[in-house]
Amino acid sequence: MSKNTNFVLDLGLIDYSLAYNLQKQAVAEVIAGGPERVLLCEHPSVLTLGRMADEKYILASREELHRRGINVLAVDRGGEVTLHAPGQLVVYPILDLKKHGKDIKAYMHQLEEIAIQFLELYGISSSRNSGKTGIWIGSKKIVSIGVGVKKWVTFHGLGININTDLKLFSLINPCGLGVNMTSVENIKGQSVDFKKAKKDFADVFVKHFAFVRT
């Protein structure tokens, strides 16, 4: 593989902390001149708190979370409390923004656009919500976005509800917005092939950023 070849890695179902360590390693490699990449995965149920998050948006008690085996982790991304769970497609782009406009706001807009195009593949019309990050279907949110940037290299990313158990969102006030969440499965009325969804998203992402896939 050449030094400048970009690539997609499927991490499968992976512990959040392990995936975060892989992100940090990838960020260091990209800062050092290594290839950009995008990591695709899903996580066992976990709650994460962004840099400015308020724990009041966690609605379940710590005892209840412990009983369910759900950890709460503080992370270095923007945004409030977020739930990750099986059936949610989590995407971690490790990109050098010096090659993509050096504009964080524009980058997040690109992530939203990629998500919109991905959902269109499933016959789902979605949109932005003015002043709020993420992607929505009417009043319900389907994609959450929170990013981190170090020396213009991105990490963290998107959570797209594919077959996610939506009842789990009752544990939190998602993103502090008091919003209801939805999923591709909920909208389509049937479970979606998760492996295919990962491939479909990767295809849209790679095309948008003009990656060379390996």
214 residues of the chain, pLDDT tens digit each: 344 456 899 999 999 999 999 999 999 999 999 999 999 999 999 998 887 777 888 888 999 999 999 999 888 887 788 899 999 999 999 999 999 989 999 999 999 999 999 999 999 999 998 778 899 999 999 999 999 999 999 999 999 999 999 999 999 887 666 788 999 999 999 999 999 999 999 999 999 987 655 4
Can you list the alpha helix ranges (DSSP code H) found in the chain?
A: 16-31, 62-68, 104-120, 184-188, 194-209
**Amino acid symbol at 136:** W
Does the global pTM surpass 0.75?
Answer: yes
Q: Report DSSP state, residue 168.
A: G
Q: Which one, of 142, 104, 91, lies nearest residue 120 by Cα?
A: 142
Residue 41 among the catalytic residues? no
Cβ-based neighbour number of residue 195 at 10 Å? 10
Tokens of 106: 């524009």
Domains and CATH numbers, the chain: 7-208 (3.30.930.10)
Strand-pair category, 140-150 with 153-161: antiparallel
Decide: 148 and 156 in contact? Cβ < 8 Å.
yes
Distance CA 198, CA 214 (A): 16
Distance CA 115, CA 62 (A): 33
114 Rama sector, left if φ>0, alpha if ψ -120 to 50, beta otherwise? alpha
- Which member of 175, 181, 202, 204 is catalytic? 175
